[in-house]
């Protein structure tokens, strides 16, 4: 059963592979932008934006190529496809996070003091936010066809980024997060505890989202 889930994740990767060629340029653009803006963390946030686009590519490509009969003819259950897509998003998130964690120190060395922090906590936070957005979006895409769901699919992402934008203001008022610690990787103030708690909450939410997606997709006529 798990093998079929992995096969479905690989099928998703193959489905979008030819659409990823321009990703190389977009990744390069992210690096250039962070050098120009002298902001090492821009590599990571730019990466998350690209990831959010890429995470819905399998839905878009499968609908535009009318691939429903392929999924209907392959020897797999619907839950394999759903779980495979969540696995695909998770793997994409991890790979992108790893890339940005490699690039960020390089960018940091080019533009600021070599003593700046490694930004690992920030990268992990962004990975968690990406998975959270997927968890919010995917049930919409599994429940409706791509054309209908793309209108509402970005709403969760908008809410999350609005929250991130407002967070410094909220943080200033409520002293929620020690931003310096977050960016420098300093474990003071229970930062790692906070991140672990956030990671656990995201994973639980991710799994719940997968269950909801399966229930919606299982009822759908393809």
Binding site for other proteins (CB under 8 A): 4, 7, 10-11, 14-15, 18-19, 61, 65-70, 72-77, 219, 221-222
User: Is 8 or 132 the residue whose CB approaches other proteins more closely?
Assistant: 8
Task: Report the nearest approach of other proteins to the CB of residue 66 (Å).
Answer: 6
Task: Report the nearest approach of other proteins to the CB of residue 103 (Å).
Answer: 28
User: Is 54 or 125 the residue whose CB approaches other proteins more closely?
Assistant: 54
The Cα angle at residue 86 between residues 182 and 159, in degrees rounded to 5: 50
User: What is the Cα–Cα distance from 150 to 136, expressed in whole angstroms?
Assistant: 13
User: Is 17 or 148 the residue whose CB approaches other proteins more closely?
Assistant: 17
Task: Report the nearest approach of other proteins to the CB of residue 14 (Å).
Answer: 5
User: Is 11 or 44 the residue whose CB approaches other proteins more closely?
Assistant: 11
Contact 34, 42 (CB under 8 A): yes
Task: Report the nearest approach of other proteins to the CB of residue 4 (Å).
Answer: 8
Show Cβ contacts of residue 167 under 8 Å, excluding neighbours closer than 6 positions. Answer: 176, 177
Residue 128 to residues 48, 172, 180, 221: CA-CA distances in angstroms? Answer: 10, 23, 19, 32
Q: Take residue 1 and report the two structure tokens written for it.
A: 């059963």
């Amino acid at each position: 059963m798990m093998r079929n889930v992995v096969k479905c994740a690989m099928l998703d990767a193959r489905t979008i592979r030819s659409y990823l060629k321009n990703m190389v340029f977009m990744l390069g653009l992210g690096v250039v932008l962070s050098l120009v803006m002298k902001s090492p963390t821009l590599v990571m946030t730019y990466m998350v934006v690209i990831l959010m686009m890429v995470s819905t590519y399998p839905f878009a490509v499968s609908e535009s190529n009318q691939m429903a009969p392929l999924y209907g003819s392959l020897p797999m259950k619907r839950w394999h496809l759903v779980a495979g897509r969540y696995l695909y998003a998770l793997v994409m998130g991890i790979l992108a996070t790893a890339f940005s964690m490699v690039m960020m120190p390089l960018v940091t060395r080019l533009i600021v003091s070599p003593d700046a922090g490694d930004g690992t906590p920030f990268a992990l936070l962004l990975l968690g936010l990406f998975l959270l957005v997927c968890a919010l979006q995917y049930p919409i895409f599994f429940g409706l066809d791509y054309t209908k769901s793309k209108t509402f699919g970005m709403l969760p992402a908008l809410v999350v980024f609005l929250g991130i934008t407002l967070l410094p203001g909220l943080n200033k008022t409520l002293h929620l997060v020690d931003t310096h610690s977050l960016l420098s990787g300093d474990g003071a103030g229970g930062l790692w505890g906070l991140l672990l708690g956030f990671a656990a909450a995201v994973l639980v939410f991710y799994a719940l989202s997968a269950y909801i997606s399966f229930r919606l997709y299982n009822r759908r006529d393809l």
